[in-house]
Chain A
Amino acid sequence: MPELHHFHGGLVLDGHKTESLARGLQQASLTERLFLPLRQHIGDHNKPRVEIGDRVLKGQVIASDSALICAAVHAPTSGTISAIEDYPVAHPSGKMDTCIIIEVDGDDKAVEPIPVDLDNLNPDEMIELICRAGIVGLGGAVFPTSPKLSRGKAQGIDTLIINGVECEPYITCDDILMRFNAAEVISGSGYLQRILAPRTTYIAIEDNKPEAIAAMAKALAEHPLAGTEIVSIPTIYPSGGEKQLVQILTGKEVPHGQLALDIGVFCQNVGTCAAITHALEKDEPLISRVVTISGDNIAQPGNWEVRLGTPISHLIELAGGYRYGASGQLVMGGSMMGFALSGSKVPIVKATNCIMVMREETIPKSPGYHDECIRCGKCTEVCPAQLLPQQLYWHARAGAYERTQEFHLFDCIECGCCSTVCPSRIPLVQYYRAAKSEIRAAQKAQFKSDRARLRFEFREKRLQLKKQQDEERRRLKREALQKKKAGAGNGKSIEDPVQAALDRVKARKKNAQEDSQ
C-alpha cells in the first residue's frame, strides 16, 4: 500500500449510488435505429466512410480520419445506412451534429475478426490495434487512447494508475464493470503494462466500493501482474480527477500547463482497460459501453451494456420508464459535472457514463437572480485546484477575462465543489464555463485575424520583395549598359559595327559636301 496523500479541499457528497447497483449488469436490447455522431472523442473531426444505402456489418468502420488525435467510429451492429444528417447530440449547448443513422437489421452480423498472435505483438503493434478499435478514455474525457499511449511510451512511464475511483454521485458504471468484468479490466491493465513498462501500477478504487475492490483483488490473484497493487482511497469528491488522483497516490502535483504523462504518470480508466482487452483479444472495436441510468424519476435505476448510438429514450424504456411522468430533466454525467440534455432523442456515445433522469423539483430552474457573493471563502476552502473561486467569479461576471486568466481560470477543472457550497447559491461554474468559452472564441477569432494579418503581411512582403528584385534587376541592367557605353568611349576596345557604319556614312557625306563646295 503506498502512502496516501491529500489534495486540497474537496467534498464529502451524498453518493446516490446504491439505487443503480441493485440490478447488476444488464444487456440492453437492440433498437431499430442507431444514431452515431461522427465525432465522439476530443480531437480532430472524422469523415464518414460509408454512403447512404450501404450495408454495414457489426464492427465495420463507418467514420474515421487519418489525423493523429482521432478515433474511428464503428457500426455497433449490422444494418443499412439510412441517412447521414444533423441530429440532436449530447452536448452542453444542446446543439445538433452530423450523425450516421443505421437502420438495424437485427442479424447482428459481425465482420470477420482478424486473428493476431497476441503474445508476439510488440508495443507499437498493440497501439496500432487499439487505434483501429477506436478506443478513447471512457472516464469522461474521451481522449483517443492510442496517441496518449504513443506519447507515454516515448516519454517513459514510472507509474501506471488504473482509475476505478468513480467519485461522482449517481455514476456506478465503473463499479459494476469491476464487479462483473474484473478479469477484463485486469488483463487490459496487463496490456497497458506491456506497452508502457511502468515500475509500479496502482489500481485505485474509492473505499465506498468494497465489492468492486474484492472482485478486482480476486481477479488479480488469478492473473497476477507484476508490481501491481489495488489501492483503496478515501471517498472524497473529486478524488477521481486525474490531477487529484495523481496527488493522492504519488504526492506529486502535475505542474502547471503539463500533463500527468510529463511527470511519468499514466492514468487510464477501468472501462478503457476492458475495451483494450476486447480490442486485442477479440479484435472487437469500441461499439458498446456500460451506462448507468439513475435519478429520482426513473422506475428501475441500473447499469446497462448499451450499443453506442442507442437513443436514451430506449434506455429509459428498458429501465421501466419514468417514475413520475415524462417531465423534468435529463442529465448526462453525474450531478456535479454532468450537463442537461436537450431531450431523450439524444444517442448514447462513447462519453456517456451515466444518464440522470431527474424530477423537475430536484433540479429547479434557476430563479433568474441569486444572492451576491459575501466573500465568505467557503468556495476557496473546497477548491481542489486551490484557486480563488470568488475572485474568478468577480472578474468573470465583470467580463474582465484577462484578470480571470491571471487567477488561473483555465486551471479550474469544473468540478463544481465551489458552486455546491456557496451560501449565496451562485452558479459559479456556469460563470467559469461561459468565461472560458468566451475566451476560447476570442482566441479563435484572434488566431483567425492573426492568420489573415500574417497572410496579408506575407503578401505585402512578397510584393515588396518582387518590386525590390525587379528594381535590382533593372538597376543591374542599367549599370551594365552604362559600363558598356563607358567602355566603348574609352578604349574603343569593343567595336560597334552599327556605330562604325554610321560613322562611315557621316564621314562620306561630309566628304561629299566638302567636294561639292
Chain B
Amino acid sequence: MTSVIVSSPYVAQGSTLKRLMIQVIIALLPGTIAYAWYFGPGVIINICLAVLLALAFEAGILKLRAKPVMPHLTDFSAVVAAWLFALCLPMHIPWWLVLVGIGFTMVAGKHLYGGLGFNPFNPAMVGYVVLLISFPREMTTWYLPNSVSGETLSLKEALAYTFGGADIQQWDALSSATPLDQVKTAVAQGITVAEIRLSPVFGEYAGKGWEWIAFWWFIGGLWLLATRTIRWHIPVALLAAVIAMSLLFYLINPETYTSPLFHLLSGAVVIGAFFIATDPVTAATTDTGRIYYGLLIGCLIYVIRVWGGYPDGIAFAVLLANMCVPLIDYYTQPRVYGEK
C-alpha cells in the first residue's frame, strides 16, 4: 500500500469559492429581473455582454500568466464582477464602452495585482469609475422607467443601440437624469425637496421603479445572509451610516435634504451594501473592522451624494474605503487566546 503524504484535516465543510459565487448570482436575480421589468431589456444586454467579455479576458490573461484556466474560469468570480459592473451602467450604452470598462475591471482591477485574492480595489468599481471619469456624458444618460414614460426600448431597439450605434437622439424623449441627479441639480437651483418630489419620476418613497428594484436587492441580500455567503457586519453598518447621516440632515433642514428613506431606496445603496461592499477580497477582514468599513462607506456615500461632484457615490466610497482596509485590519486585530 503506497501512500501519498497529504496533510490533515481530511475533511472539508461548507461552501467552496464556486458555491459562494453561485449564491451571489442567485441573489442578484430578483433585483436584476426587477431592473429589466422597469427599465427594459438594456440591462440584460449589458450583463450578457459584460459577462462574455469578462470570461474572454479572464481566459486570455490566465493563459498569458500560465495559470490553470478552467478551474479559475469556473469559479464564477469573473461572472459576478462583470454582473455587478453591468448593473452600474446606464441601461443603454454602446458595446465598446462595456469592452473598455470590463477591460479595466479584469486587467487593472484584478490581474495586474496578481488575480483574485490579491486585488486591493473592488474590480467592478475600478472599471466603472474609469468609465465614469472618461465618458461622463454617456455614463450619466439614464432612461425613464416604463411607469413614467409608458414605454421602454424594445429588445431590438436596445440591441441596435448597443451594437449598431443607432442614433441616440431618436429616444431622447425617454432619457433623463436619475432621481438622485435631479434632486441634486434642483437643490442647487434653490428648489425645495417637496417641490421636486412632485415630478413624475418620483414614486411613493424615492424614484419610481428604483424603489422596487432596491426592495428586490434587499431580498437578495437577505438570501446572502441566510446562506451565510456574507455576514451582517458590513451591510448593517453601511445602511446604519446612511440612515444616520441622512436623518441628521433631514431633521436639520427637510427643505434641502431628502429623507433617509429616499436615500436608502435611491441609487445603489442597497445593492452596494449587500453586494458590492461585501466583496470579501477588498473588504476588511475582522468583525470589528467590517463594522468600521461599512460605516465609512455609508458616510462617504452620503457625503459624495450631497456635497460631492457626482449624483451617486457608491463606487468612489467603496474605492476610498478599500484604501483604508490595511489600516482598519491592523488596528482591529482580535485578541489572541491567552493574551491580556
Contact = CB atoms under 8 A, between A and B. Distances in A.
On whether the two chains bind one another, the answer is yes
8 contacts: A169-B11, A253-B338, A335-B9, A366-B6, A373-B117, A423-B17, A424-B117, A430-B7
A338 interface: yes
Given A375-B285, A377-B280, 17 more contacts: A94-B3, A169-B11, A253-B338, A328-B1, A329-B3, A335-B10, A340-B6, A372-B116, A372-B118, A373-B117, A375-B281, A386-B335, A387-B336, A419-B12, A423-B15, A424-B17, A425-B12
A232 interface: no
Interface in B1-58: 1-17, 19-20
Given A363-B10, A371-B116, A433-B7, A326 B1 contact: yes
Contacts of A416: 8-9
Nearest to A423: B17
A410 to B, nearest CB: 11
B336 A376 contact: no
A371 B115 CA distance: 10
A94 B7 CA distance: 12
Contacts of B68: 369
Given A328-B1, A386-B336, A420 B12 contact: yes
A482 interface: no
A388 interface: yes
Given A375-B280, A385-B336, A423-B17, A337 B9 contact: yes
The DSSP consensus for interface residues of chain A is loop
Nearest to A369: B68
A14 interface: yes
A329 to B, nearest CB: 6
Contacts of A94: 3, 5
B337 A385 contact: yes
Nearest to A334: B8
A408 interface: yes
B9 A419 contact: yes
A296 to B, nearest CB: 11
Contact of A342 (B5, B290, B333): B5
B337 A338 contact: no
A420 B11 contact: yes
Interface of A: 7-8, 11, 13-14, 92-94, 169, 243, 247, 253-258, 326-331, 333, 335-344, 356, 358, 362-363, 365-366, 369, 371-378, 380, 384-388, 390, 408, 411, 416, 419-421, 423-425, 427, 429-430, 433
Nearest to B16: A423
B114 to A, nearest CB: 8
Given A344-B1, A386-B335, A411-B336, A380 B286 contact: yes
Given A328-B1, A375-B285, A384 B7 contact: no
A327 B1 CA distance: 6
A92 B8 CA distance: 10
Contacts of B190: none
Contacts of B118: 372
B167 interface: no
Interface in B85-132: 115-118
A343 B5 CA distance: 10
**Residue among A254, A358, A373 having the largest count of chain B Cβ atoms under 10 Å:** A373
Given A340-B3, A411-B337, A416-B8, A380 B285 contact: yes
Contacts of B231: 377
**Residue among B7, B20, B281, B285 having the largest count of chain A Cβ atoms under 10 Å:** B7
Given A255-B338, A343-B2, A388 B10 contact: no
B318 to A, nearest CB: 15
A312 to B, nearest CB: 10
A429 B2 contact: no
A8 B281 CA distance: 24
B14 to A, nearest CB: 5
Contact of B337 (A8, A333, A366, A419): A8
A279 B116 CA distance: 58
Nearest to A379: B285
B122 to A, nearest CB: 12
**Residue among B1, B19, B20, B72 having the largest count of chain A Cβ atoms under 10 Å:** B1
Contacts of A378: 14
Contacts of A424: 16-17, 117
Interface residues of B, number: 44
Interface string B300-339: 0000000000000000000000000000000001111111
A391 to B, nearest CB: 8
B1 A369 contact: no
Contacts of B115: 372
B280 A335 contact: no
B283 interface: yes
A332 to B, nearest CB: 10
Contacts of A408: 336
Contacts of B10: 331, 335-336, 338, 356, 358, 362-363
Given A335-B9, A374-B281, A377-B280, A386 B17 contact: no
What 6 pairs across the A-B complex have the smallest Cβ distances?
Answer: A372-B117, A416-B9, A430-B7, A376-B280, A256-B338, A336-B9
B280 A371 contact: no
Nearest to A94: B5
A427 B13 CA distance: 13
Nearest to A338: B8
B71 interface: yes
Contact of A371 (B75, B286, B287): B75
Contacts of A256: 336-339
Given A254-B338, A255-B338, A376-B20, A388 B286 contact: yes
A169 B16 CA distance: 22
Contacts of A13: 11, 13
Nearest to B14: A421
Contact of A336 (B1, B11, B337): B11
B6 A363 contact: yes
Contact of A341 (B3, B9, B15, B117): B3
Contacts of B12: 419-420, 425
A257 B340 CA distance: 12
Contact of A374 (B7, B17, B19, B287): B17
A262 to B, nearest CB: 11
B338 A420 contact: no
Contacts of A373: 117
A369 B2 CA distance: 22
A339 B285 contact: no
Interface in B204-243: 231
A253 B336 CA distance: 10
B338 A335 contact: no
B7 A427 contact: yes
A331 B8 contact: yes
A92 B9 CA distance: 13
A256 to B, nearest CB: 4
A412 to B, nearest CB: 10
Contacts of A11: 13
B334 A421 contact: no
Contact of B3 (A93, A330, A385): A330
Given A331-B10, A377-B286, A416-B9, A342 B337 contact: no
Nearest to B334: A386
**Residue among A92, A327, A365, A376 having the largest count of chain B Cβ atoms under 10 Å:** A376
B13 A421 contact: yes
